[in-house]
Structure 1
């Protein structure tokens, strides 16, 4: 498996006495996402698949992107982690597996808002109203610009 230009051994590798495994999970907020699993620590480093109380970049959810991201979340959930570390994270919050479900619910809410939005501005305000306390609303605007490009 190639992860960010480097070859990750198919059978995993050892680090400080712990086996680490890379899993390709497909599309999340972008293509070719992978996660790192450390079974002995009950840990998944979920990269861009799982977000932790941060507005998600959903600019690629059209044309199957939403379903693909749900499949990536399924793959992380199947690892049954006790801890999930997100790349996009509210540092005030712990790294809990419940973030998998929260990421899912945000995706579904974004899809609902997208269906009702006529333009980037209405999408931005609609999603911001649904999640007023999440960090980094800039991600909503970036998503809106991408989803409603001319």
Structure 2
């Protein structure tokens, strides 16, 4: 099993970052890889169990399910249901932590998944750098803050 962990510090208040990330269907407004996203069956984007279907820049389509959402902990978890990328048993966790000295935010994004034999490093880099790190940079740009 592969474990990927990336984190960053955003020079923005944790509540402001959470307001954006909490919307499980909002990543098409800030992540550069996502072109469109919609909730299946008209579900609310904050209902545990809801599924989002989204399309990437390359035209591929993915489905992810919201597993947990905690406003108190400013965290959520989700899993991949359908993806053209061979990431099996993929479960990810997003957590925000306040940095009280400066009113900033620590954002941690981590996942665990299985891959076909010999592809663990390649796919860990794809997830960690092309998805997570790109997302950190995109949120900072979207909010007009430094990361």
Query: With structure 1 as the length reference, what TM-score do the two structures score?
Result: 0.28
Higher share in helix: 1
Q: Which structure's CA Rg is the greater one?
A: 1
Q: Larger strand proportion, structure 1 or 2?
A: 2
Asked which structure has the greater RCO (Cα within 8 Å, sep 6+), the reply is: 2
Normalising by structure 2, report the TM-score.
0.29
